[in-house]
């Protein structure tokens, strides 16, 4: 029996090494199944929880144009959450179970959404930095070994690039505005820069799960590689519109990449553990929205049953 498992594992790794995608009904090691389920559901939860900081500003958008764009962006986030939940469900875990794990605190979402969005400049910073970081990660994940996850990533990447441009446009406009607007934009960058870098997760040397995920090609590139790519793209974008990243140690190196200061990992772990400024608010709101929708689900179900 154990020989059989070893043989199945060997064949599985051979497929991975040959870039053959794993499909839902293929044999896969339990560890792979768990890792993909956790990563996809965490990704889905992040999309959905990520609607909250931006939803906060729909009614206060400075123009009808800005409001329409923000609405479309948030609608996309909902869509991306749904793509990812569907992909995660192919592993035989129901949507409601994923939601239950989120509500019980068993499943996480990206910590960046536990920071508050204080003003309109934050809509710029979130679109530019948070979506920008997400795109770097998601472009890499298009090549993930799990077929349904990969297909969801391809679809999401196609849609997501407008999000980053939307954010950058807000920042660029503010930087072309009054002194107060410029200060607001800089302040938003100051607050979102470090949490954006934390989105890529712990350093490779401290990331316990990473090596397995890379061997199975669930992740295609390491946390530090992706983070560096984001840094190298973003610092010139900041400078182009007159912003400065809040890192006195950031220096351009001869090879064109940036050396940066150390991330405050105590803050990172503290927010992951639930002690960020908005953890409770985000989760409470999600639970309330889910509970408020309960009667709709029940009515739809009863109606559908009556039709049969």
Partner 1 sequence: MSNTDNQGPLWEVFTQKKAGLAFKHSGSVHAYDKNLAIEAARDLFTRRNEGTGLWVVKSEDIIAVAPEDSESFFEPADDKIYRHPTFFEVPDGVKNM
Contact map string, positions 102 to 121, toward partner 1, x by CB under 8 A: -x------------------
To partner 1, the closest distance from the beta carbon of 298 in angstroms equals 7
Give the span between the Cα atoms of 111 and 78, in whole angstroms.
Answer: 18
- Burial degree of 151 (CB within 10 A; 0-12, 13-18, 19+): middle
Q: Does 151 bind partner 1 (CB under 8 A)?
A: yes
Integer distance in angstroms from the first to the last C-alpha of the chain?
Answer: 46
- Per CB under 8 A, the list member of 58, 71, 159, 190 interacting with partner 1 is 159
- Per CB under 8 A, the list member of 11, 68, 94, 281 interacting with partner 1 is 94
Token pair recorded at residue 267: 């803050």
To partner 1, the closest distance from the beta carbon of 290 in angstroms equals 8
- 75-83, 187-195, 232-240, 256-264 -> range binding partner 1 (CB under 8 A): 75-83
To partner 1, the closest distance from the beta carbon of 157 in angstroms equals 13
Please, which residue, 164 or 196, has the CB nearer to partner 1? 164
Alpha carbon 301 to chain centroid, angstroms: 32
Grouping H, G, I as helix, E, B as strand and the rest as coil, residue 251 is: strand
Closest CA to 213 of 73, 11, 36: 36
C-alpha radius of gyration, the chain, whole number: 21
Q: How many CA atoms lie within 13 A of 124 on its CB side?
A: 25
| DSSP secondary structure code for residue 27 in this structure | -
- Per CB under 8 A, the list member of 5, 62, 75, 236 interacting with partner 1 is 75
- Burial degree of 29 (CB within 10 A; 0-12, 13-18, 19+): middle
Q: Does 154 bind partner 1 (CB under 8 A)?
A: no
To partner 1, the closest distance from the beta carbon of 204 in angstroms equals 33
Token pair recorded at residue 281: 């608010």
To partner 1, the closest distance from the beta carbon of 226 in angstroms equals 25
Q: Does 295 bind partner 1 (CB under 8 A)?
A: no
Cβ-contact 108, 40 below 8 angstroms: no
To partner 1, the closest distance from the beta carbon of 301 in angstroms equals 6
Please, which residue, 84 or 130, has the CB nearer to partner 1? 84
Grouping H, G, I as helix, E, B as strand and the rest as coil, residue 283 is: helix
Total residues binding partner 1 (CB under 8 A): 33
Q: Show contacts with partner 1 in window 273-292 (CB under 8 A).
A: 287, 290-291
Q: How many CA atoms lie within 13 A of 274 on its CB side?
A: 9
Q: Show contacts with partner 1 in window 20-59 (CB under 8 A).
A: 23, 25-27
Residues that bind partner 1 in the complex, under the rule CB under 8 A: 23, 25-27, 72, 75-76, 79, 82-83, 86, 89, 94-97, 99-100, 103, 151-152, 155, 159, 287, 290-291, 297-298, 300-301, 303-304, 307
């Amino acid at each position: 029996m154990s020989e059989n498992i070893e043989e199945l594992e060997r064949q599985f790794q051979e497929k991975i090494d040959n870039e053959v995608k794993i499909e839902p009904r293929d044999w896969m090691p339990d560890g792979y199944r768990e890792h993909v389920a956790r990563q996809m559901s965490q990704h889905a939860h992040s999309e959905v929880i990520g609607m909250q900081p931006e939803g906060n500003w729909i009614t206060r958008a400075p123009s009808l144009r800005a409001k329409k764009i923000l609405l479309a962006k948030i609608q996309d986030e909902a869509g991306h959450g749904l793509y990812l939940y569907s992909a995660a469900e192919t592993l035989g875990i129901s949507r409601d179970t994923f939601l239950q794990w989120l509500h019980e605190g068993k499943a996480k979402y990206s910590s960046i959404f536990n920071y508050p969005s204080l003003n309109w400049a934050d809509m710029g910073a979130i679109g530019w930095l948070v979506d920008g970081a997400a795109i770097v990660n998601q472009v890499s994940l298009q090549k993930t070994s799990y077929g349904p996850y990969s297909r969801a990533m391809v679809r999401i990447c196609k849609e997501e690039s407008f999000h980053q441009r939307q954010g950058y446009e807000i920042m660029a406009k503010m930087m072309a505005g009054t002194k107060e607007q410029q200060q607001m934009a800089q302040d938003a960058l100051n607050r979102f820069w470090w949490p954006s870098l934390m989105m890529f997760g712990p350093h490779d040397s401290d990331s316990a799960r990473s090596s397995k995920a890379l061997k199975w090609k669930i992740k295609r590139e390491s946390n530090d590689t992706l983070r560096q790519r984001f840094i190298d793209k973003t610092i010139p974008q900041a400078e182009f519109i007159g912003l400065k990243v809040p890192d006195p140690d950031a220096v351009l190196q001869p090879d064109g990449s940036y050396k940066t200061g150390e991330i405050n990992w105590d803050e990172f772990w503290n927010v992951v553990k639930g002690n960020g400024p908005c953890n409770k608010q985000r989760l409470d709101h999600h639970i309330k929205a889910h509970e408020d929708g309960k009667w709709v689900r029940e009515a739809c179900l009863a109606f559908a049953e009556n039709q049969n």
